[in-house]
Amino acid sequence: MILIYARSFLNFFEHRTCQRAQWEIRSLAEKMLELVRVVAPNLFSESGPTCLTQGVCRQGKYSCGRMKTLEGK
């Protein structure tokens, strides 16, 4: 059962820590991510928006532009 919740959290963090997410939800998601990283660092250490964790932006033409910044590094 815990793995089901972890998978849901990972999906939630991918979408809701994205710069394109509504700021209130993004702020909450970032705080939640900080908390779960303390409790389960092995599961959530690599969690976050896909541009940071997978090097892929799924927002298409609505991208925030972070990927261009990351590619330039």
Pick the catalytic residue: 7, 16, 58, 66? 16
Q: Which of 53, 55, 48, 60 is nearest to 18 (CA)?
A: 48
How many residues are given for the chain? 73
Q: Is 16 a catalytic residue?
A: yes
The CA distance from 35 to 44, in Å, is 10
| Catalytic positions | 16
